[in-house]
Chain A
């Protein structure tokens, strides 16, 4: 272990380490603590300027039910939109990328390295470069300002990273399994579904968790491909509500917690997959 394991140090060093660990953590999470503590303050605290002191009362239920009340704010709508965009986009892009990754890893056809490089390169570009043509295409095809359109774009864009990720994973798998299935007369489609998919399961879980956070957290495409509440996801919704709620910081904070929660939960529950995914796939979108 490097640095020297703390167990080999004196009692006082161990104590200092533990205290400093706690302090650094509190400092590191300060922005998060601030937003959570603001989200449970009553509006009266905010107007009285009590931002950092002890809340005069505990307004958790008031604030969060206000945020989720469809009559008072469209936040619930945004939340549902985000789910309707993210979940199908993750599933479809994982599926088609598994097929593409399989093809690029298994078959020695001409041009495979070029195609592989294309997926990687496309995944690296600053995606804003695509905005003008994609937006125009969306307007012309009637995809602009629709949940389907946004989900479709995310599916397509994430295919670059996902194919890169899964191709690398498949390339490490034992090829002999596929060979012996072929000798027994299995078709390629059958090999893919009965041999490849079960072997890929851990990689698919890692990738799914990563893609979920990437797509859920997207702001740019929501901003440029959507204009009305009917398709607006929660990131863009939150930035729009900021203007509507003005200085109701407690409500904005509650909205922010709601917007951040799904990716935090997914990360916390599936942490192992998430970190495996990052260290395996390496490059984030």
Chain B
């Protein structure tokens, strides 16, 4: 009898402790390498630090420097440009998704070929687009020569470099949004579409009043991932322009990387990271508010 009771207690205990031991590995790793470093970055941003030796408290000095740093404003401006122009990705993605929403032979293969850019790493994307813009051998230069114009060295032009990089970034991002919309389109109600047709709705009316409202979930995800992608832009800049020419294609992430690892200004780099974090926090806040509301 006693052993039975003992066994029951054990069963009860392992049930009670289940959340602890199931969560522990993920929680420990995630806290050490993701959550804790966020707070460390904030802490470091109030110090002067070269990466070695003790930190020297300087209060908000780094943030003051930030607001008189022309490269910081350039980075901020470019991040805003990234945010704005990357918004073309959901629009073009939806357009291609609608274009491909037909049932003909071989469409499955065609769709998967359209998805390809999303899977390719950005180093390769950056390489290919640098060649595309190359004023001596690139395809863009060939096109310019074809119409009798002098080729423009896009990535070496301070006013164009950022746009050149954003354009390269649009390629994989559009493929991503397109995948989301293609999947979204499969769940659009056919009866509503037929009803619309019978009522004589035009293509435009159908799109804006029947299709788009039903694609709302896909749109929310597409916008979210595009915002995240725009704020994380780094790889393409490192590969294509290294922030140049004369710092004209810097973004916050690149500025932070440069100050911290090449100028050994960890504290200053951290303050740039904090600004980037704060911008993202605004977006995370709205996204989480939605999710938590659904949970409750």
Nearest A residue (CB) for B132 = A31
Residues of B near any A CB (own CB < 8 A): 11, 14-15, 18-19, 22-23, 25-27, 29-30, 32-38, 40-41, 44, 51, 96, 98-104, 110, 112-117, 119-125, 127-129, 131-132, 137, 139, 142, 171, 176, 179-180, 183-185, 188, 190, 193, 203, 206-207, 210-211, 221, 224-225, 228, 231-232, 234-235, 238-239, 253, 256-257, 260-261, 266, 269-270, 273-274, 276-277, 280, 283-284, 287-288, 291-292, 295-296
Provide the bound-state CA to CA distance between A284 and B51, in Å. Answer: 32
Contact with B along A1-27 (1 / 0, CB 8 A): 111111100000000011001001100
Whole-angstrom distance between the Cβ of A276 and the nearest chain B Cβ? 8
Nearest B residue to A239, CB-CB: B123
Instruction: Tell me how far the C-beta of A170 lies from the nearest C-beta in chain B, rounded to whole angstroms.
Output: 11
What's the least CB distance linking A268 to chain B, in Å? 7
Question: Distance (Å) between the CB of B53 and the closest chain A CB?
Answer: 12
Residues of B within 8 A of A224 (CB): 257, 261
Known contacts A104-B23, A136-B51; 18 additional CB pairs below 8 A are A1-B101, A31-B171, A32-B128, A118-B35, A120-B288, A121-B288, A128-B232, A129-B38, A132-B44, A153-B33, A156-B30, A156-B33, A157-B34, A216-B121, A217-B119, A239-B123, A260-B119, A263-B120
CB distance from A275 to the nearest CB of B (A): 6
Residues in A with CB closer than 8 Å to B102 are 1, 3, 5-6, 17
**Minimum distance in angstroms from A54 CB to a CB of chain B:** 15
Kindly provide the distance from the CB of B284 to the nearest chain A CB, expressed in whole angstroms: 5
Q: Does A146 contact B (CB under 8 A)?
A: no
Q: Which B residues touch A256, using CB under 8 A? A: 123-124, 127-128
Q: Which 8 pairs from chain A and chain B are nearest by CB? A: A100-B26, A217-B121, A156-B33, A103-B22, A133-B40, A133-B37, A156-B29, A279-B183
Complex CA–CA separation, A38 to B134 (angstroms)? 15
Cα(A192)–Cα(B288), bound, Å: 28
Which residue, of B18, B123, B129, has the highest number of chain A Cβ atoms within 10 A?
Answer: B123
A188 at the interface (CB under 8 A from B): yes
Query: Chain B residues with Cβ under 8 A from A4's Cβ?
Result: 203
A282 at the B interface (CB under 8 A): yes
The majority secondary structure among interface residues of chain A is helix
Chain A interface residue count, Cβ-Cβ cutoff 8 angstroms: 99
CA distance A251 to B104 in the complex (A): 38
Q: Is the CB of A31 within 8 A of B128?
A: yes
B292 and A52 form a contact (CB under 8 A): no
**Within the complex, which residue of A100, A130, A132 is in contact with B269, where a contact is CB–CB below 8 Å?**
A132
B26 touches A102 (CB 8 A): no
Q: Given A125-B277, A239-B123 in contact, is the A220-B142 Cβ separation under 8 Å?
A: no
Residues of B within 8 A of A282 (CB): 221, 224
Q: Closest Cβ of chain A: how far from B288's Cβ, in Å?
A: 5
Is A51 in the interface zone, CB < 8 Å from B? yes
In the complex, what distance in Å separates the CA atom of A113 from the CA atom of B292?
7
Q: Report 21 cross-chain contacts, Cβ distance below 8 Å, ordered by A residue.
A: A24-B96, A25-B113, A25-B114, A28-B96, A32-B117, A34-B131, A102-B22, A126-B253, A127-B232, A130-B34, A132-B266, A136-B266, A156-B32, A182-B15, A217-B122, A249-B137, A259-B121, A263-B120, A267-B112, A275-B179, A283-B228
Chain B residue contacts of A32, Cβ below 8 A = 116-117, 120, 128
- How far apart are the CA atoms of A137 and B44 in the complex, in Å? 13
Whether, in the assembled complex, A206 has its beta carbon less than 8 Å from a beta carbon of chain B, the answer is no
CB pair B32–A278 under 8 Å, yes or no, is no
Residues of A within 8 A of B23 (CB): 99-100, 103-104, 115
What 1/0 flags go to A104-128 for Cβ under 8 Å of B? Answer: 1011010011011111111011111
